[in-house]
Structure 1
Amino acid sequence: MFALRKGRYIVRLAERAADVEAAQRLRYLAFISNRADGAVAEGDGADADAFDACCHHVLIEERATGRLVCTFRMMDLDNGAAISQSYSAQYYGLEALESYEGRMLEMGRFCIHPECHDPDVLRVAWGALTQYVDTRGIDLLFGCSSFMGTDWAVHADALAMLKHRHLGPKRLLPRVKAPNVFKFAARLRRKPDAKRAMRAMPPLLKTYLMMGGWVSDHAVVDRALGTMHVFTGVEIAAIPPARKRLLRAVAG
């Protein structure tokens, strides 16, 4: 598998149950304790689900203190025939991707500690992911990219930007499956304000888009987490060469 040391941080895979539990506690802190809608957090302080047992969990820790500052999980699929097993398949009809022949990787539950504001953490995370993608020969990276809050109007410029510039190819677009969605590609008629759109775009999604990523034509409203998310895909072969060089420089 992999391990990476970059600057102030160490990246490694979870090896023990305690590592996974630490990731689940950070996810709870990021997704549930700090909900954008202000809802009162409930539960035991761990964000856990059945998919955890099927995934590799990545931990990014401070070298000096050992503090966990970032985590995400990865599900490695041989090809599209297995995509119904993914987390994303709960919310999106992914039949169009079932015939995809290349190796696929679902990235999910990405979060950074709310008290960590170092932009280098995101760069290191993508460096580690790049190392894994190259080592495993991944052809398609996918997952759910979340906006904080469930009011589409707050995200209107960003969603309009996705409609105008970043919709996925029709042959691969997910169909509607979740009961509560906002069909932004059909409903939004506004021309996006580019500056407002990019300010409102979640950092993870912004990075996907910089790599040539594409999104679904609708957003799923997840009231359990107080978010809206779009299905996001990145075909590795389509990443601009300059971007690949930057990512591999971090991964090396």
Structure 2
Amino acid sequence: MKMDLSRFDVRLATTDEEVRAAQHLRYRVFVEEMGATVPPEDAALKIERDRFDPYFDHLLLIDRAAAEDDPARVIGVYRLLRGAVAKAGPGFYGAGEFDLTPLLELDRETVELGRSCVAQEFRAGSAMLLLWNGVSRYVRDHGIEVMFGTASFPGTDPAPLAEALSHLHHAHLAPPDIRVRAQPDHGIDMNLMPAAQVNAGRAMRATPALIKAYLRLGGFVGEGAYVDHGFNTIDVCLLMDTERMVAKYRDFYSRD
């Protein structure tokens, strides 16, 4: 799909109605498409939300061609929680899946990225790139040095994903100073195959596009994966350190 980029706006939500529109989109993607479960009262409203939403900044991709009062005008979302906000209030969402101690001990500003999704009809265009441009501005404006968040493989059975998960473990494991680890209650080892038996090309073809994109930017993964039965996914923790990023992408995240 070729997108008329002037038709779209990327900015943070400023009203409760805009946050609710983001939650509607998340319901369409995570519940209706991916099979996540939500409480009955949220299903009745067709929204996906949690207790962390009030603390996150919600980055929106807005279709200006849609009516002002149409929730479907929000066609892409990201939610962002700065370390300074998390430490003063709710903590990080990802702490429920990963031991984030290495990040909490950093004397550097961090941001947790999550709930990234784009409406199905816009996924073949530049929607995600537009959202990333918004993230880059956010990172620059807040002096953020480390970005992290969970990203998902569909399904909860690790067996079909053994090669992909093993490749992440052998080729993209985070350095020790930022290496978070999956919580033991639903954590699984990603080292499911010896490195010599992993076909990197085949493994990457089985890896979701969002994870591959972060790896191309110079990202890493934490140790172990987390089986999230509520969202019907297997999650890895992606981490990006601006000091370690490939130079051209570091420039992307710091440019005006």
Taking structure 2 as the reference length, what is the TM-score of the superposition?
A: 0.86
8 Å CA contact 2:12, 2:59 repeated in 1? yes
CA distances 1:86-145 after superposition (whole Å, capped 9, x unpaired): 000111112222210000010011111123223311111111101111111101001101
**Bigger mean CA offset, 154-163 vs 23-32:** 154-163
User: Could you say what secondary structure the match of 1:184 adopts?
Assistant: coil
- Structure-2 separation of matches of 1:172 and 1:30: 30
Identity of aligned residues (%): 30
Q: Which amino acid aligns with 2:65?
A: A
1:72 corresponds to 2:73: no
8 Å CA contact 1:36, 1:149 repeated in 2? no
Deviation at residue 41 of structure 1 after TM alignment:
9.9
Number of equivalences: 244
Aligned residue among 208, 218, 221 for 1:215 = 221
User: Could you say what secondary structure the match of 2:52 adopts?
Assistant: helix
8 Å CA contact 1:33, 1:40 repeated in 2? no
Identify the residue that residue 180 of structure 2 maps to in structure 1: 174
- Structure-1 separation of matches of 2:177 and 2:87: 16
1:24 corresponds to 2:23: yes
8 Å CA contact 1:79, 1:103 repeated in 2? no
Q: Which amino acid aligns with 1:51?
A: F
Structure 1 residue ranges without an equivalent (≥5): none
8 Å CA contact 1:212, 1:240 repeated in 2? yes
8 Å CA contact 2:111, 2:144 repeated in 1? yes
- Structure-2 separation of matches of 1:197 and 1:26: 30
Deviation at residue 82 of structure 1 after TM alignment:
6.2
- Structure-2 separation of matches of 1:120 and 1:204: 13
Deviation at residue 156 of structure 1 after TM alignment:
2.3
User: Could you say what secondary structure the match of 2:11 adopts?
Assistant: strand
Aligned residue among 111, 114, 118 for 2:120 = 114
Query: 1:48-87 counterparts in 2 under 5 A?
Result: 48-65=49-66, 67-78=73-84, 85-87=91-93
Identify the residue that residue 7 of structure 2 maps to in structure 1: 8
Deviation at residue 7 of structure 1 after TM alignment:
3.8
Query: 1:207-246 counterparts in 2 under 5 A?
Result: 207-246=213-252
8 Å CA contact 2:140, 2:253 repeated in 1? no
Taking structure 1 as the reference length, what is the TM-score of the superposition?
A: 0.87
Identify the residue that residue 189 of structure 1 maps to in structure 2: 194
User: Could you say what secondary structure the match of 1:100 adopts?
Assistant: coil
